[in-house]
């Protein structure tokens, strides 16, 4: 069965410091991986995706993610966090058949000034 795990419910970072939000996955076949962000009382916004190619994927708002096949991970990173990055972040994998997304449980990112 395909699954996604985000091992941290919450990540706290000081503004200006680098941030990492962790994600590991389990899929059969090639993984199609996504990161989404959800601000309070809003829908999900797409940040970036890995389909194939370079292991380092760059996305919106200065975020990037590193695909690591041997560790089955797809961690989200940003070199310098902003207070406005505070939100709920979801990692997702596309499941075979129909293109549905299987989401991790979400990680609440809090960036303090």
Partner 1 sequence: DTAVSQTPKYLVTQMGNDKSIKCEQNLGHDTMYWYKQDSKKFLKIMFSYNNKELIINETVPNRFSPKSPDKAHLNLHINSLELGDSAVYFCASTRIYGGTYNEQFFGPGTRLTVL
In angstroms, what is the minimal distance from the CB of 78 to partner 1? 19
Question: 88 vs 41, 67, 83, CA distance in Å?
Answer: 11, 20, 13
Question: Is 82 or 88 the residue whose CB approaches partner 1 more closely?
Answer: 88
Q: Of 110, 89, 93, which is closest to residue 31 (Cα–Cα)?
A: 93
**8 Å CB contact between 13 and 111:** yes
In angstroms, what is the minimal distance from the CB of 16 to partner 1? 27
Which residues of this chain interact with partner 1, rule CB under 8 A?
Answer: 32, 34, 36, 38, 41-46, 49, 51, 88, 90, 94, 97-103, 105-106
Question: Is 82 or 103 the residue whose CB approaches partner 1 more closely?
Answer: 103
Distance CA 26, CA 93 (A): 9
In angstroms, what is the minimal distance from the CB of 41 to partner 1? 8
Cβ-based neighbours of 113, under 8 Å, separated by 6 or more: 14, 15, 83
Question: Is 55 or 105 the residue whose CB approaches partner 1 more closely?
Answer: 105
Q: In this structure, what token pair is assigned to residue 74?
A: 């797809």
Question: Is 43 or 113 the residue whose CB approaches partner 1 more closely?
Answer: 43
């Amino acid at each position: 069965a395909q699954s996604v795990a985000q091992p941290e419910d919450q990540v706290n970072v000081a503004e200006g410091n680098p941030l990492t939000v962790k994600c590991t996955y389990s899929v059969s076949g090639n993984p199609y991986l996504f990161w989404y962000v959800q601000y309070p009382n809003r829908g999900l916004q797409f940040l970036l995706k890995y389909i194939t190619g370079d292991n380092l994927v760059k996305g919106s708002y200065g975020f990037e993610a590193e695909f690591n096949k041997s560790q089955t991970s797809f961690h989200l990173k940003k070199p310098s966090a902003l207070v406005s990055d505070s939100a709920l972040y979801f990692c997702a994998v596309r499941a075979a058949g129909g293109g549905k997304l299987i989401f991790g449980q979400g990680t609440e990112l809090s960036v303090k000034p």
